[in-house]
Structure 1
């Protein structure tokens, strides 16, 4: 049964409650290579959901060493986000929030079990806060600046909602109604907390408050629309790049025609991972054959068997295409 937890970070709204714990795709680390795909995610999440206890996030893997190991947080749920890999919903401790807020810690480091036959991740054992993760390129926990889609205006709206006693996700209509309810008390809004959250001076009128909220809403909507258009453009560029990568891999004999759709999907989701695969994969289709030579391989060496197994290619399929050529 999936554990579904709804949490609000009351300690620090800038510290995320969802963090990446295992990145998607093929990765090489100082401790060995691993692969995280849909099958990996399903196995990892199934193993996590079979637990009765929450999984701890500690500091520098102290839990694994047997030393005193205070918790930095507790993983309540694991989520698969496709090309972004496996993420965790976290309940942080106050001490960890302070570390993260001060940028004293920025990354996490997972400990997991890898299946020997194909290097796929099958179980998550531990997650730790660290500043020297073995996996390069993971999403940092705290990273203000480029890529932060939550603009300052949206943050102000949340603060106004809190001051008015409304939920953080209150709608524009709900906020304006709460402001209108204050109008009957006096022509001047006397709640200094609301004015401070909006960046207005003490004694500002109700009209100034309403106008400021409307302007903030418009700014938030415009940014959201721009983000959507950027993501659409990124998708088109990713698809074009994927087509080029797959075409090159097929030209080099690294893919069979039957693998084209699989390869396109992989390249769209993780272009860098596909480049690593294409660079390391051995040819499965012989190119540049002597004219008239239709002899097919009579056997497969151990290296090729291992490659075939990782790619999901049966021996019959390999033998069928390895010596094939165009008429």
Structure 2
């Protein structure tokens, strides 16, 4: 059973001889048949062939009759020997009415070309679904080899279209564009993989599975991360608290601040430790080291009652009453 594709120069049919180029020629045999090189078997899906021909006609397209399948060869000069203007079914065979170009008619009449070779598309079951063109040929074997190579290219193009998931009607340009897109995506993937390898410390040639393993190994669940972060914050807060207490203890011990003012200066330390340290460097001693009394308080304790004029006046007023 053949795979879907296009048959080129696989079948030859004799041109009728006469004094004029034949108007009607058989282009696809009736029933099931094989090509002269063994390809096939094929059989006509007559409704599909006629429908595709009618669609081309409606679009102003006539299948060409060319020389040696030149229209099937890329970059080859391809002149028309005639144009197919009508299809007809005769006992299961497909016949075509040809409108010959003068030069083509002359070559047929002079027997410079003696055979017809149709080009047709077929599906995976071998059913012929579309007549593409017809060539007048003399069956050269070397040319057949080149056409067979082209047929392989046609099959390859269809396979690429299927693999790329493109529309079955896509052409070679669409296939090339899809391949370029895949190449670009592949380059982006390679760049991302290299970045992941570096971040995770994976080997330079590590595959996706190995990189994924590295990521999972180094992954820390969110709950665990938050627990550790909270513990760190508490530890940092405790360290800061201890540093503030040490600065205040040193300042009290040096007599730079009173023990009763510790709360005020603790707030100052918490807000700006550097400002507190600068203040302590230049602050005078206001408290006798080892006590919590201010210098003013100590001086007041040393004063005698009669030396205090305010107290003396108060006592004098009380005595006069």
Same fold, TM-score > 0.5, yes or no: no
Q: TM-score, normalised by structure 1?
A: 0.34
Decide which structure has greater helix share: 2
Ranked by relative contact order (alpha carbons within 8 Å, sequence separation 6 or more), the top structure is 2
Higher CA-based Rg: 2
User: Could you tell me the TM-score, scaled by structure 2's length?
Assistant: 0.35
